[in-house]
Amino acid sequence: MMIGERIQQARKASGLSLRVLAEKTGVTAMAISKYENNQSTPSSGVLLALSNALRVRTEYFFRQVSVELKEVEYRKHSKLPKKVLAQIEGNVLEQIERYLTLEEILPVSPIQAFELPKSLPAKITDYDEIERLANLLRKEWKLGQNPILDLTGTLEERGIKVFQAEALHDGKFDGLACRVNGAPIIVVGINWPGDRQRFTLAHELGHLILNGRLSAELLENEEKLAHRFAGAFLAPASEVLKELGSQRSWFEPRELCVLKKAYGLSMSAWLRRAQDLSIINDATYLKMVKLFRKYGWHKQEPCDEYPREEPQVFTQLVFHALAEDLVSESKAAELMGKSLREFRALRKVDHARSAINQ
């Protein structure tokens, strides 16, 4: 990828038009257009102005890794303007490029390639089989039946790359899934509540699992089936029945708050699990949904927010590479997408090794 294409990618990721970028840099929109089309080469001073306006390090413009998002799927994508889609994808591309750059530096990647267990059924023909599918995956991944405390880490350990992006048009963007070099990628909003992040991660995992397994009759309902899988994976049927009982006519909201805190599954999702497993009938479910809407709980639940998920593998690998002198401190900062000052503040122990060696 040439420098012009990198300027354009960074501009789209920042959501800036040529005119706005021109105002921020003091460079004409026509000049920036020429840079982007590789008709002219920016000076070092212009590159510095561009890096400041686009919030990237100058090294970004010379990075050799180039990737393409494939099989991109958005949830609720139809409501997002093309400019916003381009901004989201540009932001994701920049993060993925840094990740792949790091993988090239490391002599051996500690992360296994993603591969689904061979024991999973070849075909899914009804909704109830989703429950068995979720249980089987938990068994193959040795997760037991207890709540999964770190869902992001669980997916990362098994070769699914998880990234977080600013939740642009927050109510309309509900996650992204794609592939890069054959590896699955899932993107969630960085500022979403943890339960929303977790459900989206489990939902997109459901799409990965269900791909090619659904009978013709179920194909048009794949989105609903992915929802069912997400609930079943995060709160297995056996545990739901223990927590709620086999038959209920009502739930106290505070009861659902406690379960949300324990499993990282929203109150609304718990209602859906109860309906899916016939613990409550459709009439009771609708009454509770009506109650939630009356008090605005369908938008803001009356509980403390569940802690946000946070990808850790990439950060760990950057510091691993730094500790082994595979990258300089400046390169490590670039990989983390931070200024050197920000990186040193994150590191906090930048003089520890030199002190030990004295």
Question: How many angstroms separate the CA atoms of 205 and 156, rounded?
Answer: 12
For the domain spanning 1-62, the CATH number is 1.10.260.40
Where would I find the H helices in the chain? Answer: 3-14, 18-25, 29-36, 44-54, 82-105, 128-140, 151-157, 194-210, 222-234, 237-244, 253-263, 267-276, 282-294, 313-323, 329-336, 340-347, 352-357
Residue 101's nearest CA partner among 332, 344, 313, 319 is: 332
User: What's the predicted TM-score (pTM) here?
Assistant: 0.83
Q: Where are the domains of the chain?
A: 1-62, 313-357
Under a CB-based contact definition with an 8 Å cutoff, are residues 232 and 134 in contact?
yes
Q: How far apart are alpha carbons 137 and 281 in whole angstroms?
A: 28
Residues 303, 264: Cα–Cα separation, whole Å: 12
What Å distances lie between residue 325 and 94, 222, 331, CA to CA? 24, 47, 11
Per-residue pLDDT of the chain (358 residues), as tens digits, is: 688 988 988 888 788 889 999 999 999 999 999 999 999 999 999 999 998 898 887 877 887 766 777 777 766 555 677 777 777 788 888 888 889 889 888 887 777 789 999 999 999 999 889 999 999 999 999 999 999 999 999 999 999 999 998 755 556 677 888 888 888 999 998 889 999 999 999 999 999 999 999 998 898 899 999 999 999 999 999 999 999 999 999 999 999 999 999 999 999 999 999 999 999 999 999 999 999 999 999 999 999 999 999 999 999 999 999 999 999 999 999 899 888 899 999 888 644 544 444 4
pLDDT given at position 66: 65
pLDDT at 356: 47
